[in-house]
Structure 1
Amino acid sequence: MTQPIGEEFQIPKPKVLGPRNDPLDIIQTRLRTHGRPASIAGPMVRYSKLPFRQVCRHYDVDIVYTPMILAREFVRNSHARMADFSTNKGDAPLIVQVGVNNVSDLLKFVEMVAPYCDGVGINCGCPIREQIREGIGCALIYNPDLLCSMVSAVKQKYGEKLRLETKIRIHENLDETVTLCKRLCDAGVDWITIHGRTRTTRSSVPANFEAIKYVVDRLGDKHVPIIANGDCFSRQDLQRITEITGVDGVMAVRGLLNNPAMLSGYDTCPWGCVELFWHYALEYGGLPYQLLQHHLFCMLENMQLKKSLLKKLMTIQCTAELLDWFDENFILKRHGEPGFAVQKDIPYK
């Protein structure tokens, strides 16, 4: 989005979906076309911004999500719109995830973002107490009437012109999850992502893939595609999770923050990710310095950068100083230079 949305702004029509950018088509055909399930970079609060999304696309990620955007703020506040969402023509297929608790805000939100994305995902998995108190995130899996009414409202208005996903967690009673998924299918959802933890399960506890398999097995042959989420930290995990659960694709989240190339088979983050991230961060601009710094820290820590250099990195206060520090300590190639973004190991000077 490059233009503010206000009373005088004419909202364009939704994007035209085709084989290259229709996320549902990609999910349904990846096993046949690529010999692997669909790979998805899930939403991370603050971190799934445009520069990072573009890096992930270089490394066998089929579909990428934005961070969760609160509908009530987005539809009412132009500053929130400018801060929360940026994209470009190369940012596809793109799913914009929304935190929402009513049909009216959701329809307004979808109208605003539909011209700039390929689908919208309703967040039904965020376990943060503040969000749950407002009826957002995990609260929605315990309010199926509201959730299904929101899905129906969007699909009745947009049909096949816009894809709609719901990202849920499992219930303590798995049969409740089965029932919810069946209702979502009837409401018209295009696919469902299931996180293999309950609302109260900590991330340190392994994801329950047998629970996802239980749900998939009981949905029968006519259900929409199911994506598994949780504990995907390598390409091997993507295959393993698919084999256990029988899903159509796998969503990775935390693992990509440390190693955006992991779904290409890299066990550790390659230096090429660092060069790509620098390129996109400077090319697109608008990324808060602390976020840029932390992305680089996560990647370099995964690459086992010398601890003394990691500590120094976190003391630097601005982008210009950080870029100078990289040039002093490493061979940091720029876009257009021979060998840009192909180096695997850290090129110390």
Structure 2
Amino acid sequence: MSLAVQIPPPKKLNKENDPLHIIKTRRETHNRPATIAGPMVRYSKLAFRQTCREYDVDIVYTPMILAREFVRNGHARMADFTTCDQDTPLIVQVGVNNIADLLKFAEMVYPYCDGIGINCGCPIREQIREGIGSALIYNGELLCSMVKAVKDKYGDSVRLETKIRIHDDVEDTVKLCNSLCEAGVDWITIHGRTRTTRSSVPVNIDAIKYLRENIKYKNVPLVANGDCFTLEDCHRIGEYTKVDGVMAVRGLLANPALFDGYQKCPWGAIELFVHYTMQFGGLPYQLLQHHLYTMLENTGLDKPLLRELMELKSTAYLIDWLDEKFDFKRKGDPGFSKGVEIPFRDSQPKI
């Protein structure tokens, strides 16, 4: 899918697609925090974003896009940013370490999204060495200057978010958040782990609660990120921390329908994801295959069938396999995208 064909006309923010309005009002309108599908390197592509939107997700992020590549390389722009007119509300996340690249990036993407998020949480060493990702939470002066530069130029026509991790001393995070608010950030997403905390260690939900209580700018929304794997997690995190939104990442990779109350990935999400992949194109086969593996593994599908899936060599073989093993519906078929349990063919084992 090319940008020339797929990028819609420039957007104008209104109450329906303004992420700041959504985050601020979801408790009033829906009696819950805003539900947000966070950025995943390689995996938050258009087909997956659209699948998540079918299941009570309010706001969706792109994968992190490196500003230095995007603003200089047309091939990078074609590969990194694909959207459509139904892809809203959309936040484009950027990895950046200087004002010039950020301003150029914002100029290029803001007409085609509903907000821009600065990645201040990625713990990958290569990114940290370049001053990107979680390196920015230790360079608050630079981070705040980037936020201020964008808001000074665009004001409320560009919604700007920062997604940060916590410091070893949470008071340092309080100071950073207050400085970001003063610079004009629209909302802050807080991943409740430090730069060195492994994902196997439980998220520090107490730190997020402390930040909500102690950041002095109460009008700036906070979003909690980390360990949201079910709708119950979303409600628990929101109630305990009093944040305005809850972001899921790994949980949605296994179950795009978690915010809609499903405990495991429903079969309808499989059909939707394959449909959107075929409709939009541009997704490497290995990513399609791994998405399906992750979603089906969550259902308890027999391991021999999962191994068969991973041995398939192309999209054509994959579609044939789905048709052979399951009652796999296409858009337009009665019951398309509505199934919950796996619809095995009669010859296949039941789980």
TM-score range, shorter chain: over 0.9
Q: What CA distance in whole angstroms lies between the structure 2 residues aligned with 1:150 and 1:266?
A: 39
2:254 is aligned to 258
Secondary structure at the aligned position of 1:295 is classed as helix
- Is the CA contact 1:13–1:114 (under 8 Å) kept in the aligned structure 2? no
Partner of 1:341: 337
Q: What are the equivalent positions in structure 2 for 1:1-349 lying under 5 Å apart? A: 2-3=3-4, 15-220=11-216, 222-349=218-345
- For the 8 Å contact 1:275–1:340, the answer to whether it is kept is yes
Cα deviations by residue, 1:230-267 (Å, 9 ceiling, x for unpaired): 00000000010011211001000000000000110000
Amino acid at match of 1:180: L
Aligned pair count reads 343
Q: Distance in 2 between matches of 1:57 and 1:154?
A: 28
Summarize deviations over 1:123-154 as a string: whole Å, max 9, x none: 00000111000000001000011000000010
- Answer whether contact 2:3 2:81 (CA < 8 A) is retained: no
Change in 2 beyond 3 A, CA 1:290/1:178: same
CA distance in 2, matches of 1:12, 1:314: 35
Q: Deviations over 1:79-107 (max 9, x none)?
A: 11101110000000000000000000000
Q: Secondary structure at the match of 2:108?
A: helix
Q: Distance in 1 between matches of 2:25 and 2:59?
A: 13
Unpaired runs of at least 5, structure 1: 5-10
Deviations 1:271-303 (A, max 9, x none): 000000010000111110000000010111111
Secondary structure in 2 matching 1:3: helix
Cα distance in structure 1, aligned partners of 2:170 and 2:324: 55
Distance 1:258 1:76 in 2: 34
Give distance in 1, aligned partners of 2:211 and 2:10: 33
**Would you say the 8 A contact 1:15–1:161 is kept in 2?**
no
* TM-score with structure 1 setting the length: 0.96
Aligned to 2:349: none
CA RMSD after TM alignment: 1.4
In structure 1, distance between residues paired with 2:106 and 2:317: 40
SS in 1 for 2:4: coil
Change in CA separation of 1:88 and 1:13 when aligned onto 2, cut-off 3 Å: closer
| Conservation of the 8 A alpha-carbon contact between 2:8 and 2:83 | no
3-state SS of 2:106 partner: helix
